[in-house]
Structure 1
Amino acid sequence: MIAQIFTNANSFDTVSINLGNTFVIKLRDQPGEHMYSKEDPVVETVWKMEAGEGLRLLREQFTPDVTDTKTGPGIHEWEYEAVKPGIWEIEGSYTIFRFGGEERFKLTVKVI
């Protein structure tokens, strides 16, 4: 079975996932954003994602739009497995150093 895929368009949605199934979250990321940090600039993905205990992270991967670049934009993916029945939340934040503020992502997952 192909895993369900959720994007920024699903932010703040509630979805149902069967126990044992997997799903993927795909969000745009811009590692170069860290170069605008007032702290030590580092090149790393900007999204920070946390998930409830009923969801297990299987894979996290960043794929740049242009190969062989570390600061260019691309797609950040997280693949989770539903491992415990209940209602769990995945919350992410993306600090926008250049202009201030942050972008948020939240997905409520009902594992049935």
Structure 2
Amino acid sequence: MVAQIFTNANNFDTVSINLGDTFVIKLRDQPGEHLYSKDEPVAETVWEMQVEEGIKLLREEFIPDVPDTKTVPGVHEWEYEAIKPGTWEIEGTYDIIRFGGEEKFKLTVKVI
């Protein structure tokens, strides 16, 4: 079975996932954003995800639009498994260093 895929279009949605099933969140990411930091600039993904206990992270990967580069935009993927019945939240923040502010992503997952 193909895992369900959620994107920014699902921001603030509530979804149902069967216990034991996996799902993927794919969000655009811009590692070069860190180059605008006043701290020592580093090229790394910007999204930081927080997950509650009923959801387990299986895999995290950044796929740049241009292969073998570290500062170009791309897609950040997280693959999760539903490991405990209940309602759980996945929340992400993305600091926009260049222009200030932040972007948020939130998905409420009902594990049934």
TM-score (norm 2): 0.99
The aligned counterpart of 1:33 is: 33
Residue identity matched to 2:103:
E
Structure 1 unaligned blocks of 5 or more = none
User: Using the alignment, how far apart are the partners of 1:6 and 1:40 within structure 2?
Assistant: 33
The aligned counterpart of 2:82 is: 82
User: Using the alignment, how far apart are the partners of 1:41 and 1:108 within structure 2?
Assistant: 33
Q: How far is 1:34 from its partner?
A: 0.1
The aligned counterpart of 2:56 is: 56
Query: Is the partner of 1:45 in helix, strand or coil?
Result: coil
- Correspondence 1:83-98 to 2 at 5 A: 83-98=83-98
- 1:51-106 Cα shifts (integer Å, max 9, x gaps): 11000000000000001110000000000000000000000000000000000000
Runs of 4+ in 1 over 3 A off after TM superposition: none
User: Using the alignment, how far apart are the partners of 1:98 and 1:77 within structure 2?
Assistant: 23
Which deviates more, 38-47 or 78-87?
A: 38-47
Percent of paired sites with the same residue: 79
- 1:9-40 Cα shifts (integer Å, max 9, x gaps): 00000000000000000000000000001111
User: Using the alignment, how far apart are the partners of 1:102 and 1:22 within structure 2?
Assistant: 28
Structure 2 unaligned blocks of 5 or more = none
TM-score (norm 1): 0.99
User: Using the alignment, how far apart are the partners of 1:43 and 1:57 within structure 2?
Assistant: 23
Do residues 9 (structure 1) and 9 (structure 2) align?
A: yes
User: Using the alignment, how far apart are the partners of 1:27 and 1:37 within structure 2?
Assistant: 21
User: Using the alignment, how far apart are the partners of 1:80 and 1:21 within structure 2?
Assistant: 8
Residue identity matched to 1:34:
H
Please provide the CA RMSD for this pair: 0.4
